[in-house]
Amino acid sequence: MVEPAHLSLHVPEPAVRPGGEPDFSNVKIAKAGAVPRPPVEAAAEDIRDLAYSIIRVLNRDGEAVGPWAGLLTDDELRTGLRHMMTLRAFDSRMLMAQRQGKTSFYMQHLGEEAVSCAFRKALKKGDMNFPTYRQAGLLIADHYPMVEMMNQIFSNEADPLRGRQLPIMYSSKDHGFFTISGNLATQYVQAVGWAMASAIKNDSRIAAAWIGDGSTAESDFHSALVFASTYRAPVVLNVVNNQWAISTFQGIARGGSGTFAARGLGFGIPALRVDGNDYLAVYAVACWAAERARRNLGPTLVEYVTYRVGAHSTSDDPSAYRPKTESEAWPLGDPVLRLKKHLIVRGAWSEERHVQAEAEITDEVITAQRQAEEHGTLHAGGKPSVRDIFEGVYAEMPPHLRRQRQQAGY
Protein backbone atom coordinates (compact mmCIF):
# COMPACT_ATOMS: atom_id res chain seq x y z
CA MET A 1 0.00 0.00 0.00
CA VAL A 2 1.28 3.49 -0.87
CA GLU A 3 1.68 5.77 2.15
CA PRO A 4 -0.58 8.85 1.86
CA ALA A 5 1.45 11.98 1.15
CA HIS A 6 1.73 14.73 3.73
CA LEU A 7 -0.24 17.35 1.89
CA SER A 8 1.06 20.88 1.59
CA LEU A 9 0.25 23.97 -0.41
CA HIS A 10 2.41 25.33 -3.17
CA VAL A 11 3.12 29.02 -2.57
CA PRO A 12 4.90 30.66 -5.53
CA GLU A 13 7.85 32.81 -4.43
CA PRO A 14 9.62 35.57 -6.36
CA ALA A 15 13.08 34.64 -7.63
CA VAL A 16 14.77 37.32 -5.50
CA ARG A 17 14.11 39.45 -2.46
CA PRO A 18 15.73 42.70 -1.24
CA GLY A 19 19.49 42.33 -1.02
CA GLY A 20 19.58 39.66 -3.75
CA GLU A 21 20.77 39.90 -7.36
CA PRO A 22 17.87 40.79 -9.71
CA ASP A 23 17.05 37.85 -11.96
CA PHE A 24 14.74 37.92 -14.95
CA SER A 25 15.93 34.69 -16.53
CA ASN A 26 12.32 33.48 -16.24
CA VAL A 27 11.20 36.11 -18.78
CA LYS A 28 11.85 34.42 -22.12
CA ILE A 29 12.32 37.16 -24.70
CA ALA A 30 11.73 36.49 -28.40
CA LYS A 31 13.98 38.25 -30.91
CA ALA A 32 12.48 41.42 -32.37
CA GLY A 33 10.66 40.58 -35.59
CA ALA A 34 10.60 36.83 -34.87
CA VAL A 35 6.90 36.38 -34.06
CA PRO A 36 4.60 36.00 -37.10
CA ARG A 37 1.65 38.30 -37.78
CA PRO A 38 -1.38 36.09 -38.48
CA PRO A 39 -4.49 37.30 -40.31
CA VAL A 40 -7.04 38.81 -37.91
CA GLU A 41 -9.47 36.00 -38.79
CA ALA A 42 -7.12 33.39 -37.25
CA ALA A 43 -8.71 31.01 -34.74
CA ALA A 44 -7.39 31.01 -31.17
CA GLU A 45 -6.14 27.41 -31.42
CA ASP A 46 -4.15 28.18 -34.59
CA ILE A 47 -2.18 30.98 -32.94
CA ARG A 48 -1.59 29.43 -29.52
CA ASP A 49 2.14 30.19 -29.67
CA LEU A 50 1.42 33.92 -29.64
CA ALA A 51 0.12 33.60 -26.09
CA TYR A 52 3.51 32.28 -24.93
CA SER A 53 5.96 34.36 -26.94
CA ILE A 54 6.54 38.15 -26.98
CA ILE A 55 5.79 40.22 -30.09
CA ARG A 56 8.55 42.79 -30.54
CA VAL A 57 9.34 45.30 -33.29
CA LEU A 58 12.28 47.37 -32.04
CA ASN A 59 15.59 45.51 -31.92
CA ARG A 60 18.68 46.34 -29.85
CA ASP A 61 20.00 48.66 -32.54
CA GLY A 62 16.79 50.67 -32.54
CA GLU A 63 15.58 49.37 -35.89
CA ALA A 64 11.96 48.37 -36.54
CA VAL A 65 11.91 44.82 -37.91
CA GLY A 66 9.56 41.97 -38.79
CA PRO A 67 5.94 41.54 -39.81
CA TRP A 68 4.51 43.88 -37.12
CA ALA A 69 6.67 46.84 -38.24
CA GLY A 70 6.01 49.61 -40.73
CA LEU A 71 2.69 51.06 -39.58
CA LEU A 72 3.74 54.50 -38.36
CA THR A 73 5.16 57.60 -40.06
CA ASP A 74 7.97 59.76 -38.67
CA ASP A 75 5.42 62.35 -37.57
CA GLU A 76 3.25 59.82 -35.79
CA LEU A 77 6.26 58.39 -33.99
CA ARG A 78 7.43 61.83 -32.89
CA THR A 79 3.93 62.51 -31.56
CA GLY A 80 3.97 59.18 -29.73
CA LEU A 81 7.32 60.02 -28.15
CA ARG A 82 5.96 63.39 -27.08
CA HIS A 83 2.92 61.77 -25.44
CA MET A 84 5.11 59.40 -23.44
CA MET A 85 7.48 62.20 -22.41
CA THR A 86 4.48 64.32 -21.38
CA LEU A 87 3.06 61.53 -19.24
CA ARG A 88 6.46 61.07 -17.58
CA ALA A 89 6.85 64.78 -16.89
CA PHE A 90 3.27 64.98 -15.61
CA ASP A 91 3.96 62.07 -13.25
CA SER A 92 7.11 63.59 -11.87
CA ARG A 93 5.42 66.96 -11.16
CA MET A 94 2.41 65.32 -9.53
CA LEU A 95 4.61 63.06 -7.43
CA MET A 96 6.33 66.19 -6.19
CA ALA A 97 2.97 67.89 -5.59
CA GLN A 98 1.95 64.95 -3.40
CA ARG A 99 5.16 65.25 -1.38
CA GLN A 100 4.36 68.96 -0.96
CA GLY A 101 0.93 68.13 0.47
CA LYS A 102 -1.00 69.47 -2.52
CA THR A 103 -2.78 66.16 -2.97
CA SER A 104 -3.22 63.16 -0.72
CA PHE A 105 -2.25 60.48 -3.20
CA TYR A 106 -0.64 59.80 -6.57
CA MET A 107 0.13 56.80 -8.80
CA GLN A 108 2.74 56.99 -11.55
CA HIS A 109 3.36 55.13 -14.82
CA LEU A 110 7.16 55.12 -14.91
CA GLY A 111 8.29 52.42 -17.38
CA GLU A 112 4.76 51.69 -18.62
CA GLU A 113 4.14 54.81 -20.73
CA ALA A 114 4.07 52.99 -24.09
CA VAL A 115 1.15 50.77 -23.15
CA SER A 116 -1.60 53.36 -22.79
CA CYS A 117 -0.09 56.00 -25.11
CA ALA A 118 0.28 53.62 -28.08
CA PHE A 119 -2.99 51.82 -27.42
CA ARG A 120 -5.00 55.06 -27.56
CA LYS A 121 -3.81 55.56 -31.13
CA ALA A 122 -5.54 52.34 -32.24
CA LEU A 123 -8.94 53.56 -30.99
CA LYS A 124 -11.46 55.83 -32.71
CA LYS A 125 -13.64 58.58 -31.31
CA GLY A 126 -16.62 57.00 -29.55
CA ASP A 127 -14.77 53.83 -28.50
CA MET A 128 -14.72 53.37 -24.74
CA ASN A 129 -11.90 52.43 -22.40
CA PHE A 130 -12.60 50.93 -18.99
CA PRO A 131 -9.24 51.76 -17.45
CA THR A 132 -7.50 51.18 -14.16
CA TYR A 133 -5.44 53.85 -12.40
CA ARG A 134 -2.30 53.33 -14.53
CA GLN A 135 -3.55 54.31 -17.98
CA ALA A 136 -3.53 58.11 -17.90
CA GLY A 137 -1.67 57.88 -21.23
CA LEU A 138 -5.10 57.21 -22.78
CA LEU A 139 -6.07 60.75 -21.80
CA ILE A 140 -2.74 62.43 -22.54
CA ALA A 141 -2.57 60.84 -26.00
CA ASP A 142 -6.14 61.97 -26.67
CA HIS A 143 -5.31 65.56 -25.68
CA TYR A 144 -7.49 65.69 -22.60
CA PRO A 145 -6.35 68.92 -20.90
CA MET A 146 -3.70 68.35 -18.24
CA VAL A 147 -5.25 71.18 -16.21
CA GLU A 148 -8.44 69.12 -15.84
CA MET A 149 -6.42 66.13 -14.67
CA MET A 150 -4.62 68.28 -12.12
CA ASN A 151 -7.88 69.86 -10.93
CA GLN A 152 -9.08 66.34 -10.23
CA ILE A 153 -5.84 65.43 -8.46
CA PHE A 154 -6.05 68.56 -6.28
CA SER A 155 -9.81 68.05 -5.61
CA ASN A 156 -10.14 71.81 -6.12
CA GLU A 157 -13.13 73.98 -7.04
CA ALA A 158 -12.64 73.18 -10.76
CA ASP A 159 -12.35 69.41 -10.22
CA PRO A 160 -14.67 67.93 -12.87
CA LEU A 161 -15.54 65.13 -10.43
CA ARG A 162 -16.23 67.59 -7.58
CA GLY A 163 -13.99 65.90 -5.03
CA ARG A 164 -15.95 62.65 -5.10
CA GLN A 165 -13.19 60.44 -6.41
CA LEU A 166 -9.75 59.45 -5.14
CA PRO A 167 -7.06 61.59 -6.84
CA ILE A 168 -6.11 60.22 -10.31
CA MET A 169 -9.42 58.40 -10.77
CA TYR A 170 -10.40 60.50 -13.79
CA SER A 171 -13.52 60.24 -15.90
CA SER A 172 -14.23 61.62 -19.36
CA LYS A 173 -16.97 60.33 -21.61
CA ASP A 174 -15.84 62.62 -24.45
CA HIS A 175 -12.39 61.10 -24.35
CA GLY A 176 -13.60 57.50 -24.17
CA PHE A 177 -12.42 57.10 -20.57
CA PHE A 178 -14.95 55.43 -18.30
CA THR A 179 -14.85 56.49 -14.64
CA ILE A 180 -12.11 54.53 -12.88
CA SER A 181 -13.28 52.12 -10.23
CA GLY A 182 -11.11 51.55 -7.18
CA ASN A 183 -12.69 48.11 -6.85
CA LEU A 184 -10.33 46.32 -9.16
CA ALA A 185 -11.53 44.03 -11.97
CA THR A 186 -15.06 45.45 -11.95
CA GLN A 187 -14.07 47.43 -15.04
CA TYR A 188 -13.55 44.17 -16.95
CA VAL A 189 -17.17 43.04 -16.72
CA GLN A 190 -18.33 46.60 -17.36
CA ALA A 191 -16.27 46.78 -20.56
CA VAL A 192 -17.68 43.50 -21.85
CA GLY A 193 -21.22 44.61 -20.97
CA TRP A 194 -20.71 47.93 -22.76
CA ALA A 195 -19.32 46.12 -25.81
CA MET A 196 -22.29 43.73 -25.81
CA ALA A 197 -24.67 46.70 -25.63
CA SER A 198 -22.88 48.32 -28.57
CA ALA A 199 -23.38 45.12 -30.60
CA ILE A 200 -27.01 44.76 -29.51
CA LYS A 201 -27.62 48.30 -30.80
CA ASN A 202 -25.80 47.44 -34.07
CA ASP A 203 -23.44 50.31 -33.31
CA SER A 204 -19.82 50.40 -34.56
CA ARG A 205 -18.09 51.45 -31.34
CA ILE A 206 -15.82 49.02 -29.52
CA ALA A 207 -14.68 48.75 -25.90
CA ALA A 208 -11.30 48.20 -24.28
CA ALA A 209 -11.02 46.53 -20.87
CA TRP A 210 -7.97 47.12 -18.66
CA ILE A 211 -6.60 45.13 -15.75
CA GLY A 212 -3.28 44.55 -13.99
CA ASP A 213 -1.58 41.16 -13.55
CA GLY A 214 -2.55 40.92 -9.89
CA SER A 215 -6.21 41.77 -10.45
CA THR A 216 -6.68 38.93 -12.96
CA ALA A 217 -7.01 36.72 -9.87
CA GLU A 218 -10.39 38.36 -9.23
CA SER A 219 -13.43 36.37 -10.34
CA ASP A 220 -14.70 39.38 -12.34
CA PHE A 221 -11.84 38.81 -14.78
CA HIS A 222 -13.00 35.26 -15.45
CA SER A 223 -16.72 36.17 -15.63
CA ALA A 224 -15.87 38.84 -18.18
CA LEU A 225 -14.04 36.27 -20.32
CA VAL A 226 -17.05 33.94 -20.25
CA PHE A 227 -19.40 36.64 -21.55
CA ALA A 228 -16.89 38.06 -24.01
CA SER A 229 -16.23 34.67 -25.61
CA THR A 230 -19.80 33.34 -25.54
CA TYR A 231 -21.28 36.40 -27.26
CA ARG A 232 -18.13 37.37 -29.21
CA ALA A 233 -18.32 40.86 -27.78
CA PRO A 234 -16.44 43.62 -29.64
CA VAL A 235 -13.88 44.22 -26.92
CA VAL A 236 -10.11 44.25 -26.51
CA LEU A 237 -9.19 42.61 -23.21
CA ASN A 238 -5.95 44.17 -21.97
CA VAL A 239 -3.79 42.74 -19.19
CA VAL A 240 -0.90 44.94 -18.11
CA ASN A 241 1.67 42.61 -16.60
CA ASN A 242 4.07 44.98 -14.84
CA GLN A 243 5.48 42.11 -12.73
CA TRP A 244 4.08 43.41 -9.43
CA ALA A 245 0.76 43.87 -7.63
CA ILE A 246 1.87 46.19 -4.85
CA SER A 247 4.27 43.82 -3.01
CA THR A 248 2.96 40.59 -4.57
CA PHE A 249 4.95 39.26 -7.55
CA GLN A 250 3.09 38.32 -10.73
CA GLY A 251 3.63 34.57 -10.14
CA ILE A 252 0.93 34.54 -7.47
CA ALA A 253 -1.95 35.65 -9.71
CA ARG A 254 -0.56 33.60 -12.60
CA GLY A 255 -0.41 30.44 -10.52
CA GLY A 256 3.31 30.17 -11.18
CA SER A 257 2.74 28.65 -14.62
CA GLY A 258 1.64 29.61 -18.14
CA THR A 259 1.16 33.27 -19.04
CA PHE A 260 -1.61 35.77 -18.46
CA ALA A 261 -2.30 35.79 -22.21
CA ALA A 262 -2.83 32.03 -22.11
CA ARG A 263 -5.80 32.57 -19.80
CA GLY A 264 -7.69 33.58 -22.97
CA LEU A 265 -7.07 30.24 -24.70
CA GLY A 266 -9.25 28.28 -22.29
CA PHE A 267 -12.12 30.51 -23.38
CA GLY A 268 -11.33 30.18 -27.09
CA ILE A 269 -10.23 33.82 -27.20
CA PRO A 270 -7.27 34.67 -29.49
CA ALA A 271 -4.48 35.80 -27.17
CA LEU A 272 -1.26 37.68 -27.83
CA ARG A 273 1.68 38.69 -25.69
CA VAL A 274 3.51 41.86 -26.58
CA ASP A 275 6.57 43.81 -25.48
CA GLY A 276 4.85 46.56 -23.48
CA ASN A 277 7.94 48.78 -23.62
CA ASP A 278 7.98 48.87 -27.43
CA TYR A 279 5.68 51.65 -28.70
CA LEU A 280 5.58 50.20 -32.22
CA ALA A 281 4.76 46.67 -31.08
CA VAL A 282 2.02 47.86 -28.70
CA TYR A 283 0.45 49.93 -31.47
CA ALA A 284 0.60 47.11 -34.03
CA VAL A 285 -0.96 44.58 -31.66
CA ALA A 286 -3.61 47.06 -30.48
CA CYS A 287 -4.59 47.70 -34.13
CA TRP A 288 -4.79 43.95 -34.78
CA ALA A 289 -7.07 43.42 -31.78
CA ALA A 290 -9.18 46.53 -32.47
CA GLU A 291 -9.68 45.44 -36.07
CA ARG A 292 -10.97 42.06 -34.89
CA ALA A 293 -13.50 43.81 -32.66
CA ARG A 294 -14.53 46.25 -35.41
CA ARG A 295 -15.00 43.46 -37.94
CA ASN A 296 -17.24 41.63 -35.48
CA LEU A 297 -14.73 38.81 -35.07
CA GLY A 298 -14.99 39.03 -31.28
CA PRO A 299 -12.67 39.63 -28.32
CA THR A 300 -8.88 39.45 -28.20
CA LEU A 301 -6.82 39.11 -25.04
CA VAL A 302 -3.55 41.06 -25.03
CA GLU A 303 -0.88 40.77 -22.34
CA TYR A 304 1.59 43.68 -22.21
CA VAL A 305 4.86 42.55 -20.70
CA THR A 306 6.30 45.52 -18.87
CA TYR A 307 7.77 46.59 -15.53
CA ARG A 308 6.54 48.96 -12.83
CA VAL A 309 9.70 50.99 -12.23
CA GLY A 310 8.27 53.25 -9.53
CA ALA A 311 6.48 52.48 -6.31
CA HIS A 312 2.93 51.12 -6.50
CA SER A 313 1.63 54.47 -5.24
CA THR A 314 2.78 57.28 -2.98
CA SER A 315 1.82 55.02 -0.06
CA ASP A 316 4.26 52.28 -1.02
CA ASP A 317 7.99 51.58 -0.55
CA PRO A 318 9.20 48.84 -2.93
CA SER A 319 12.61 48.50 -1.24
CA ALA A 320 10.80 46.38 1.37
CA TYR A 321 10.01 43.62 -1.11
CA ARG A 322 12.27 43.75 -4.19
CA PRO A 323 15.91 44.52 -4.90
CA LYS A 324 16.55 48.25 -5.38
CA THR A 325 18.32 47.62 -8.69
CA GLU A 326 15.63 45.37 -10.14
CA SER A 327 14.31 47.96 -12.62
CA GLU A 328 17.80 48.40 -14.10
CA ALA A 329 17.96 44.67 -14.75
CA TRP A 330 14.59 44.63 -16.53
CA PRO A 331 15.43 43.21 -19.97
CA LEU A 332 12.89 45.16 -22.07
CA GLY A 333 14.44 48.56 -21.37
CA ASP A 334 12.82 51.98 -21.17
CA PRO A 335 9.97 52.75 -23.61
CA VAL A 336 10.89 56.43 -23.99
CA LEU A 337 14.58 55.76 -24.64
CA ARG A 338 13.80 52.96 -27.08
CA LEU A 339 11.49 55.09 -29.22
CA LYS A 340 13.91 58.01 -29.03
CA LYS A 341 16.72 55.77 -30.29
CA HIS A 342 14.52 54.43 -33.09
CA LEU A 343 13.65 57.94 -34.27
CA ILE A 344 17.33 58.89 -34.26
CA VAL A 345 18.19 55.74 -36.26
CA ARG A 346 15.45 56.71 -38.76
CA GLY A 347 17.04 60.14 -39.09
CA ALA A 348 13.87 61.76 -37.74
CA TRP A 349 15.16 62.94 -34.33
CA SER A 350 18.30 64.07 -32.57
CA GLU A 351 19.71 64.51 -29.06
CA GLU A 352 19.30 68.28 -29.43
CA ARG A 353 15.66 68.01 -30.46
CA HIS A 354 15.06 65.65 -27.55
CA VAL A 355 16.54 68.07 -25.01
CA GLN A 356 14.49 70.88 -26.52
CA ALA A 357 11.29 68.80 -26.44
CA GLU A 358 11.95 67.92 -22.80
CA ALA A 359 12.23 71.60 -21.92
CA GLU A 360 9.03 72.48 -23.84
CA ILE A 361 7.11 69.67 -22.18
CA THR A 362 8.30 70.65 -18.69
CA ASP A 363 7.09 74.19 -19.45
CA GLU A 364 3.68 72.92 -20.57
CA VAL A 365 3.28 70.82 -17.44
CA ILE A 366 4.37 73.64 -15.13
CA THR A 367 2.00 76.08 -16.87
CA ALA A 368 -0.89 73.64 -16.47
CA GLN A 369 -0.02 73.14 -12.82
CA ARG A 370 0.05 76.87 -12.19
CA GLN A 371 -3.40 77.21 -13.77
CA ALA A 372 -4.78 74.30 -11.74
CA GLU A 373 -3.34 75.68 -8.50
CA GLU A 374 -5.24 78.92 -9.06
CA HIS A 375 -8.35 76.84 -8.41
CA GLY A 376 -6.88 75.42 -5.21
CA THR A 377 -5.05 72.38 -3.91
CA LEU A 378 -5.83 69.87 -1.16
CA HIS A 379 -5.29 72.27 1.75
CA ALA A 380 -5.45 75.65 0.04
CA GLY A 381 -7.91 77.65 -2.01
CA GLY A 382 -11.25 76.69 -3.48
CA LYS A 383 -13.04 73.41 -2.85
CA PRO A 384 -16.12 71.81 -4.37
CA SER A 385 -19.30 72.44 -2.39
CA VAL A 386 -20.60 69.79 0.03
CA ARG A 387 -23.77 70.10 -2.03
CA ASP A 388 -21.95 68.24 -4.82
CA ILE A 389 -21.98 65.03 -2.79
CA PHE A 390 -25.64 64.74 -3.65
CA GLU A 391 -25.39 65.64 -7.34
CA GLY A 392 -24.59 63.68 -10.46
CA VAL A 393 -25.77 60.20 -9.50
CA TYR A 394 -29.46 60.30 -10.39
CA ALA A 395 -30.97 62.17 -13.36
CA GLU A 396 -33.60 63.30 -10.88
CA MET A 397 -32.66 63.43 -7.23
CA PRO A 398 -34.84 61.03 -5.20
CA PRO A 399 -36.76 62.54 -2.23
CA HIS A 400 -34.59 60.88 0.45
CA LEU A 401 -31.44 62.49 -0.96
CA ARG A 402 -33.14 65.85 -1.24
CA ARG A 403 -34.07 65.52 2.45
CA GLN A 404 -30.52 64.57 3.43
CA ARG A 405 -29.15 67.53 1.49
CA GLN A 406 -31.47 69.87 3.36
CA GLN A 407 -30.51 68.27 6.68
CA ALA A 408 -26.85 68.88 5.82
CA GLY A 409 -27.71 72.52 5.27
CA TYR A 410 -27.18 72.64 1.48
Ligand X SMILES: Cc1ncc(C[n+]2csc(CCOP(=O)(O)OP(=O)(O)O)c2C)c(N)n1
Cα 254 from Cα 153, distance rounded (Å): 33
Widest pairwise Cα distance in the chain: 80
Contact pattern from residue 232 through residue 251 relative to ligand X, giving x for each residue in contact according to CB under 6 A and a dash for the rest: --------x-x-xxx-----
Interactions with Mg ion, residue window 245-264 (CB under 5 A) = 245
Among 152, 187, 190, 242, binds Mg ion (CB under 5 A): 242
DSSP 234: S
Applying CB under 6 A, does 308 fall inside the site for ligand X?
A: yes
* Neighbouring C-alpha atoms within 13 Å toward the C-beta of 238: 32
| Shortest CB 22 distance to ligand X, Å | 18
Among 20, 101, 182, 266, binds ligand X (CB under 6 A): 182
- Spell out where 29-141 has E strands: 128-130
Applying CB under 6 A, does 18 fall inside the site for ligand X?
A: no
Task: Give the chain's radius of gyration (CA, Å).
Answer: 22
**Residue 215's binding partner, choosing from Mg ion, ligand X, none, with beta-carbon cut-off 5 to 8 A by kind?**
ligand X
Cα 267 from Cα 277, distance rounded (Å): 27
Among 212, 234, 299, 323, binds ligand X (CB under 6 A): 212
Cα 38 from Cα 51, distance rounded (Å): 13
> Is the Cβ–Cβ distance between 143 and 156 less than 8 Å?
no
Segment contacting Mg ion (CB under 5 A): 110-118, 128-136, 241-249, 343-351?
241-249
Interactions with ligand X, residue window 23-82 (CB under 6 A) = none
Whichever of 66 and 212 has its CB closer to Mg ion, that residue is 212
* Total residues in contact with ligand X, by rule CB under 6 A: 16
Applying CB under 5 A, does 213 fall inside the site for Mg ion?
A: yes
Residues in contact with 108: Cβ distance below 8 Å, sequence separation at least 6, in sequence order: 91, 92, 94, 95, 310, 311
Which residues lie near Mg ion (CB under 5 A)? 212-214, 242, 245
Which residues lie near ligand X (CB under 6 A)? 134, 182-184, 212-215, 218, 240, 242, 244-246, 308, 312
